Amino acid sequence: MRPEEAERSRSRNRNEKSDLLYSKNESKGTRVIPTDFRLYKRPRLSYIAHSRTYILTICRTASSVGRTGKAPETHFMSGTHRNGTPVYKRIQNAIRKRIDASELKPGDSVASERELARIHKVSLMTARHALAGLEREGVVERRRGAGTFVATPKIHFNKLMSYSEHMSSRGLSPRTRILVAKIIEHEAEVAARLGLPATSSLVKIERLRQTGDDPFALETCYLPAREFADLVKAPLGRASLFSTLELDYGVELAYADEEVDATAAEANVAELLGVPRGASVLRIRQVIYSTTGKATIYGVGFYRSERHTLFIRRFR
């Protein structure tokens, strides 16, 4: 037998064996692709949309799949709950609900990654992602070798809001103690910050911010007395300064220029904030402008560093 005829004979034998393999297994409801195939179609890319989650899949299909006209089924986990909420968000929401209902309080232990994965029937990676997100938000804190615990609430300065609004947004009940509310003069530096002549009269309002009996911050605000003299009589122990300006004076605040640094607490600041003298505190000096672009408030605040964080988004 010639060499080329021998090769054709071997090829026919292989094909017959392959067909026999298909016929035997198709009767059992399964398909087997012969292992000696060497020709493959080029990779096919497809995007699968599933509950707002987009998954890029690469399918390599052997040319023999044309026998049935079907490609092998692809199974995947979308990481999305039936109601459209990502699974890690569902875990986070469950933890937040327990905190809001006081089932979990600051310092209490939170279920471990493995426990959360078991309870919610998700992967360990998904549970880890959920806890990492809560840690970034300051909801929980993770202690190496000890576990994950509910964090003491912090105020996040990432939006121009009154301090009362900031505290309420973190689920805290704000209290304000008015220390000073009066008209002052001869504060040239403050007047300059507000774009006023050095001899201008100013409203000075100094407030201690608390939740319960726990002091959080000491804030002093200055405003032009010519426009806001009646603020010294306003019930700012109960009402927000921002809201009072908007409702009583028609002044809507728009943006602020701020200087942020760390400083050592002087004796009076340390006493009011309940920290040791010389302790590091966060200091924020800001000029707040109205929607007309006019400097309306100059404020200086001292904040307990362990209770506050400042988020900054930088663009390139």
- Reported as a single tens digit per residue, the pLDDT across 25-65 is 444 444 444 433 333 334 433 333 333 333 332 233 333 33
- Average pLDDT on 92-113 reads 88
50 located within any domain: yes
Higher pLDDT: 268 or 15? It is 268
CATH of the domain at 277: 3.40.1410.10
Domain that holds residue 171: 157-310
**Domain end point (choices 152, 177, 194):** 152
Q: Which of 152, 168, 186 is the last residue of a domain?
A: 152
Residue 243 lies in a domain: yes
* Mean pLDDT, range 14-31, rounded to an integer: 45
**Higher local confidence (pLDDT), 126 or 16:** 126
**Inter-axis angle of helices 87-100 and 124-136, nearest 10:** 50
- Quick one: 117 and 187 in the same domain? no
Residue 28: what pLDDT?
Answer: 43
Whether 162 and 276 share a structural domain: yes
Taking 70 as the threshold, does the pLDDT of residue 257 lie above it? Answer: yes
Q: Are residues 142 and 272 both part of a single domain?
A: no
Q: Is residue 12 a part of any domain in this protein?
A: no
Residues 96, 49 share a domain: yes
Extract the runs of DSSP E, i.e. beta strands, from the chain. Answer: 44-50, 53-59, 109-110, 140-143, 147-150, 155-157, 174-184, 202-211, 214-224, 253-264, 280-290, 295-304, 308-310
Confidence check: pLDDT of 171 > 70: no
Residue 86 in 3-state DSSP? strand
- pLDDT the model gives residue 310: 75
Q: Residue 49's pLDDT is what? A: 36
> CATH code at 53?
1.10.10.10
Q: Is 18 a domain residue?
A: no
Bigger pLDDT: 214 or 36?
Answer: 214
| Greatest mean pLDDT range, 58-67, 96-105, 196-205 | 196-205
Same domain, 87 and 196: no
| Residue 25 placed within a domain | no
User: Do residues 203 and 284 both lie within one domain?
Assistant: yes
Quick one: pLDDT at residue 19? 46
Answer yes or no: do 99 and 220 share one domain: no
Number of compact structural domains in the chain: 2
pLDDT at 69 over 80: no
On whether both 237 and 189 belong to a single domain, the answer is yes
Q: How many percent of the chain have pLDDT more than 90?
A: 43
Asked, for residue 207, whether it belongs to a domain, the answer is yes
- The pLDDT score that the predictor gives to residue 9 is 62
Most confident of 16-30, 41-55, 106-120, 193-207: 193-207
Q: Is 93 a domain residue? A: yes
Is 286 found in the same domain as 146? Answer: no
Please report the sign of the dihedral spanned by the C-alpha atoms of residue 132, residue 136, residue 138, residue 142.
Answer: positive
Residues 134 and 260 reside in one and the same domain: no
Which of 121, 152, 183 is the C-terminal boundary of a domain? 152
In a domain, 168, yes or no: yes
Instruction: Tell me, yes or no, whether 106 and 165 share the same domain.
Output: no
Q: Is residue 145 located within the same domain as residue 161? A: no
Side-chain half-sphere exposure of 243, counting CA atoms within 13 A: 11
